[in-house]
Amino acid sequence: MQQQQAGGSETEVTWGDQQNINQFGRLNNRFHDLEEEIKAAKESNENLEDAGNELILTDEEVVRFQIGEVFAHVPRDEVETRIEEMKELTTKNLERLEQEKVSILSQMAELKKVLYAKFGDSINLEED
Amino acid sequence: MASSTAGATERRGIPGAQFVEDVETYLTQSGLDVNSALSFLQERLQQYRVVEMKLLAQQRDLQAKIPDIEKCLDVVATLQSKKGTGEASIDESDSVCLWLGANVMLEYSCEEATALLQKNLENAKASLEVLIADLQFLRDQVTITQVTVARIYNWDVHQRRLRQATGAAKDP
């Protein structure tokens, strides 16, 4: 957890500073949530890859495909299509998440510059 | 995000943290000495933590509920698309049963079921958004309070040093 100690005895903390600190906190929280989501999306993609590979190897015509809480007998071609669609969705989602992560990291870097410039050693914005 | 006046009032029962412009003024106006002010703020932080736990639990519930509803929609959609194609080996029917909770299950037509599940999904997503905004507000108040605690503490240290310095100066 990051520590935010602001204000040496000389430096005043303005409402603007406080808002910057708050914003940094929010971005950091979002960053950690994003890392979790990205990890989950990558796992999901891997599982879909594995499922696709299994499908190629099997010679069954009808596959048990999970829909919700049940398994349904689904013809092989349809399963292939479904897996492709799911992979596309997950990949698009993953791209979106990665982009958001890049944006957040750059916003955090900006805020670090501003806050360190004003508060120097009085503030710590690093993960410990 | 900048506002001209410092400090939010409150949000849905969560008290806002008052931003302190100047520590000395704050202490004089509130009539608190340093230790009382610090312990008041620490208590506030505790209260915020309690609320945070509650909100996080609600968030987890909603985040589990949403994929659940989406899976149900998937099942209903699949049943509908298999209708009349002769591919389903479950007896065809035009209706599905949905668990409503509290041990109650109701029968719906596929269209009604889809509409109901859609509405539930939208409500869940909307509730989640509000909850996330609540958590953000809460965390902001925690940050403000933590910063205020640090500033009051530092101000006190500074005051003590000043008193020591003037004390030393007076003694020849």
CATH number of the CATH domain containing A116? 1.10.287.370
Q: How far apart (Å, rounded) are the C-alpha atoms in residues A10 and B155?
A: 9
- Domain membership flag for residue A19: yes
| B141-160 per-position pLDDT tens digit | 999 999 999 999 999 999 99
Mean pLDDT of the B33-59 span: 95
Nearest to B71 among A8, A21, A68 (CB): A68
Q: Does the beta-carbon distance from B147 to A29 stay under 8 Å?
A: no
Does residue A128 sit within a domain?
no
Q: d(Cα A43, Cα A97) in Å, to the nearest integer?
A: 14
Mutate to test the interface with A, among B146, B153, B161, B163 (most CBs of A within 10 A): B146
Of B2, B144, B157, the CB nearest to A16: B2
Query: Which among B2, B22, B154 is the nearest to A8, CB-wise?
Result: B154
Which of A13, A19, A69 is closest, CB to CB, to B1?
A19
Q: How confident is the model over A58-84, as pLDDT tens digits?
A: 888 888 888 888 888 888 888 999 999
Paired strand residues for B106: B98
Identify whether A127 is part of a domain: no
Query: If you ran DSSP here, which 8-state letter would residue A9 be given?
Result: S
Rg (alpha carbons) of chain B, rounded to whole number: 28
Check B143 against A25: CB less than 8 A apart: yes
ipTM of the complex: 0.80
Residue A63 lies in a domain: yes
Residue entry with tokens 């958001």: A100
**Distance separating alpha carbons of residues A100 and A34, to the nearest angstrom:** 8
Asked if A124 contacts A4 with a C-beta cutoff of 8 angstroms, the reply is yes
Among A7-11, A108-112, B161-165, top mean pLDDT goes to A108-112
pTM of the predicted model over 0.90: no
The answer to whether position A72 is within a domain reads yes
Least Cα separation, residue B37 to chain A (angstroms): 17
Tokens of B150: 């640090």
Contact B141, B48 (CB under 8 A): yes
Residue A74 lies in a domain: yes
Residue B86: which pLDDT band, with cuts at 50, 70 and 90?
Answer: low
Q: Examine the pLDDT at A5 and tell me if it is beyond 80.
A: no
- Label the pairing between strands B104-109 and B10-11: unpaired
Does residue A70 belong to any structural domain of this protein?
A: yes
Which member of B89, B139, B147 has the closest CB to residue A29?
A: B139
CB-based contact A26 B139, cutoff 8 Å = yes
Q: Which two tokens stand for residue B124?
A: 């869940």
Task: Give the per-residue pLDDT at B1.
Answer: 42
Predicted confidence band of residue B2 (pLDDT cuts 50, 70, 90): very low
Strand-pair category, B95-101 with B104-109: antiparallel
Contact A6 B150 (CB under 8 A): yes
Query: Is A37 a member of any domain?
Result: yes
Find the largest Cα–Cα distance for chain A.
76
Q: How many CB atoms lie within 10 A of CB B70?
A: 13
Q: What's the whole-number mean pLDDT along residues B82-87?
A: 67
Q: Could you tell me whether strands A70-75 and A62-67 are parallel, antiparallel, or unpaired per DSSP bridges? A: antiparallel
Give the number of domains in chain A. Answer: 1
Instruction: Name residues 129-158 of chain B within 8 A of A (Cβ).
Output: 136, 139-140, 143-144, 146-147, 150-151, 154-155, 157-158
pLDDT tens digits, residue range A109-128?
A: 999 999 999 999 889 999 86
* DSSP codes joined into one string, A24-63: HHHHHHHHHHHHHHHHHHHHHHHHHHHHHHHHHH---SEE
* Full residue range of the structural domain in which residue A78 is found: 2-122
Among A2, A5, A61, A78, the strongest candidate for a mutation testing the B interface, having the largest count of B CBs within 10 A, is A5
Q: Which of B164, B158, B152 is nearest to B41 (CA)?
A: B152
pLDDT at residue A42 in the model: 96
Q: Tell me what pLDDT residue B25 has.
A: 92
